[in-house]
Structure 1
């Protein structure tokens, strides 16, 4: 069963989404050379506390922090700590979430620490982010879940190959439903699988976290001994982008984007629904 949200519930999810957007803004500013990933976690904790919200990461399955800080070859679920000091040239993906009155928001972005990044890293993040927006643009009434997967994959496959030889679309992790819980049905692949069929029909009230993860090499990952940190098996660096999106009669609402995704989706010819908070 896929949970369909009422307009009133989407309002609460938008409130949670704006807390997540504030976490992103604050941690992006704090992700500088010399900062530890623990420092970034403390920044996120303050944003959540100041908003009167709750963390949906802290304690989830035993996760010990408020955000995930995934540096370089770490794809997802990196645990903030005092030992990981950001260096000039690092790439970090920060995944954050929040709960407002029982309703969840979840989003991720990739940031560049300092300067001097190789062009292929800048392009990796751009391709990953734009594939997310292509997927969001495919979240239309009457489409199927597979149309989102197809849009993400096709965008990536159409891009010029990096000097490493290929983009690896991570296979073991993907997007998901979101609402009264952070992770809900349906699971959303970032590529098309004949085994999975077309998936659910997209109707008003469907809310999804759309989150491509792409590496500069393999699509394969492994989990480290801490049972959380996911890395590429070949050590290539990766990028992770995510937004939570609600589908309404009037179109999509990117709940974790300050402008509801209006500017980016206009590039795809998609009109967003009005901001439920006015």
Structure 2
């Protein structure tokens, strides 16, 4: 199902998006060496509740997970890139952490992810990988104009990621979003321009470029049945925003309030 939001629904989506952006900004500021992933999950729960929102993850049980997920945020560390299940782990200096958050408020969902390095140690390869996903996201957003095709967005993302030397996995990518977290259409991080669904004002998309340093192959963590890791154990990065297609172009909904 592809939803096209009404103006009033889009106003509600803006509110939900700001909740997601604000929580991610707050969590990033609180993450430091020694922070436990379970504490991050608890902080996310408290902030979601305080905002009058609901987590999209707690009861999430798709076919590919050993669900339900049972947590309020995805916390992916180092070789983990998607669906990182919070567990009893304390962050170390130089860890590459991805926080992925989706919430629903007043009937509309929003979804975003950020990757960043914890502590003082900065591996240049990690910095470059995070930067590549951020630039790819910006390119995809710039291509998201009314009348554009999904393939235009996918191609724009691909050009940045491939140009930076990364292989691209096409099993997981961006998606439509609205009254539920995951909807059609699927937005691959690789594609051909001029192909696919034509964008219309009122469409919400979650664009999420993600890469692994030296592979495009994923494995599922055998212990939790959820966390997706790089097959080689290499580092990973993931950046995501929810955008709305408007008459004038793409509006980013999941930026924090100034």
Q: TM-score, normalised by structure 1?
A: 0.87
SS of residue in 2 equivalent to 1:257: coil
Partner secondary structure for residue 202 of structure 2:
coil
- Contact between 1:107 and 1:209, CA under 8 Å: does it hold in 2? yes
Match of 1:133, SS? helix
Q: Distance in 2 between matches of 1:102 and 1:228?
A: 26
The worse-fitting range, judged by mean Cα deviation, of 175-184 and 213-222 is 213-222
List structure 1 segments (4+ residues) > 6 angstroms apart after TM superposition: none
User: 2:18 — aligned with what?
Assistant: 18
SS of 1:202's partner is coil
What secondary structure, in the 3-state scheme, does the structure 2 residue paired with 1:169 have? coil
Instruction: Tell me the residue number matched to 1:77.
Output: 83
Is 1:213 the counterpart of 2:218? The answer is no
Which one of the candidate residues 117, 124, 136 is aligned to 1:131? 136
Q: Does 1 or 2 have the higher relative contact order (CA < 8 Å, sep 6+)?
A: 2
Q: SS in structure 2 opposite 1:200?
A: coil
The partner residue of 2:73 within 67, 72, 80 is: 67
Aligned length: 251
1:56-90: CA deviations, max 9, x gaps? Answer: 11111111100000000001111112x21100010
RMSD in angstroms over aligned alpha carbons? 1.6
1:193 deviation in Å?
6.2
Following TM superposition, by how much is the alpha carbon of 1:31 offset from its aligned partner in structure 2, in angstroms?
A: 1.4
Find the residue that maps to 2:55 and give its secondary structure. Answer: coil
Distance 1:171 1:90 in 2: 26
1:154 aligns with 2:159: yes
The answer to whether 1:141 aligns with 2:146 is: yes
Superposition TM-score, scaled by structure 2 size: 0.93
Q: Which residue of 1 aligns with 2:242?
A: 244
On the 8 A contact 2:21/2:257 being kept in 1, the answer is no
Distance in 2, matches of 1:193 and 1:231, equals: 27
The gaps in structure 2 that reach 5 residues or longer are 62-67
State the SS of the aligned residue for 2:205.
strand
Mapped partners of 1:171, 1:154: distance in 2? 14
Q: Is the 8 A contact 1:178 1:184 kept in 2?
A: yes
